[in-house]
Amino acid sequence: MAYNFKLTVEYDGANYHGWQKQKNSRTIQDEIEKAIFKITRNNVVLTGSGRTDAGVHALNQTANFFCNTNIEAKNLGRAIGSLVPEDIVIKDCVVVDKNFHARYDAKSKVYHYRILNSETPSAICRRYAWFIPKKLDMTAMKAAASHLPGDKDFKAFEASGSSRSSTIRRVNSAKFSKKGNNIVFEIEGEGFLRHMVRNIVGTLVDAGLEKISPDDIKNILASRDRSRAGITAPAHGLFLMHVNY
């Protein structure tokens, strides 16, 4: 009998070409699927809550797969974890209803983007935060971020060349926090366009550097023009924190 297993996965994405399986590229999905096959001899298809790009990290990515095995879920999770590389951790494995789908059942996702705003870089954090030596105006960035929540057309923040039936997305919240030189941008939404979060961050940083005014975000959204928004923030500062069901 095939059971539907749900995994909660943490990973350091620095050495991977993203979540989704690709030819001739090392991905998180591929590493986990290979481990499952070694244990169960089942060629499974692992469905993630969504794709993360090359270099992006996750603390709680969710995925599910169907597998014909008598191994208890907890033991299966431990076995998978023992076979994947050390920069991938299986935090939980449970049997769920056969109708559960990691992507389609997700209600919202929470992402964090981390910035190190300091005159000097960090040897330890260099792979996990965007180093910006120029002082950022937190008041301006918070004001700019306040224009993001709601049902809006985020076409201006979508990666060029993407094709979607609709570029309207709902952002539930968008806020900043700061501790010392460490800045965290948190955004929660029902779904995100390709590179949307990183493009938003690049634009909010422009507000922090006084290249644009906080209210310019409204005009950028209305323009639906990618060239009006800021640069794409580096992938290594982005973390998928939670998937809510």
Residue 101 included in any domain: no
Kindly state whether residues 85 and 151 are assigned to the same domain: no
Same domain, 144 and 203: yes
Cα–Cα distance measured from residue 109 to residue 244, given in angstroms and rounded to the nearest whole number: 6
Residue 227: how many other CB atoms lie within 10 Å: 8
Mean pLDDT, to the nearest integer, of 74-79?
A: 98
Question: What is the domain-level CATH number for residue 138?
Answer: 3.30.70.660
| Residue 237: band (very low, low, confident or very high) from pLDDT cuts 50, 70, 90 | very high
pLDDT recorded at residue 160: 77
Same domain for 231 and 169: yes
Does any domain span residue 198? yes
Note whether 130 and 179 are same-domain residues: yes
Cite the beta strand spans of 133-210 per DSSP E: 150-153, 168-179, 182-189
Residue 103 lies in a domain: no
pLDDT of the residue at 5 = 98
Q: pLDDT band for 24, please (50, 70, 90 cuts).
A: confident
CA dihedral sign, ordered 94, 99, 104, 110: negative
Residue 135 sits in the same domain as residue 215: yes
90 and 131 share one domain = no
Indicate if 75 and 6 belong to the same structural domain. Answer: yes
Q: Where in the sequence is the domain holding 194, given as residue range(s)?
A: 108-244
pLDDT value at 173 more than 90: yes
Residue where a domain stops, chosen among 96, 120, 146: 96
Q: What is the dihedral of CA 69, 72, 78, 81, to 10 degrees?
A: 30
Average pLDDT of 80-86? 98
- Backbone torsions φ then ψ of 85, nearest 5 degrees: -60, 160
Contact between residue 102 and residue 64 where contact means Cβ atoms under 8 Å apart: yes
Instruction: From 46, 69, 96, give the residue that closes a domain.
Output: 96
Sign for the CA dihedral angle at 193, 205, 235, 93 comes to negative
Element (H, E) at 6: strand 2-11
Number of domains making up the chain: 2
- pLDDT value, residue 70: 93
Is 105 annotated as catalytic?
A: no
When the pLDDT of each residue in the chain is averaged and rounded to a whole number, the result is: 96
Looking at the fold, whether 233 and 143 belong to one and the same domain comes out as: yes
- Global pTM reads 0.94
List 12, 53, 92, 97, catalytic entry: 53
Return the half-sphere exposure (C-beta side, CA atoms, 13 A cut-off) of residue 21: 11
Same domain (yes/no): 91, 123: no
Residue % of the chain over a pLDDT of 90: 95
Same-domain status, 135 and 67? no
Residue 193 belongs to some domain of the structure: yes
User: What's the CATH code of the domain at 24?
Assistant: 3.30.70.580
Distance of CA 13 to the CA centre of its chain: 10
- Tens of pLDDT, residue by residue over 88-128, are 999 999 999 999 999 999 999 999 999 999 999 999 999 99
Band the pLDDT of 12: cuts 50, 70, 90: very high
Residue 102 counted as domain residue? no
Last residue within a domain, chosen from 96, 128, 161: 96
- Find the mean pLDDT for residues 71-87: 98
Query: Residue written as tokens 């070409």?
Result: 17
| Same-domain pairing of 127 and 190 | yes
Looking at the predicted structure, is the pLDDT value of residue 161 above 90? no
- Residue keyed to tokens 């001739």: 24
* One domain, residues 231 and 141: yes
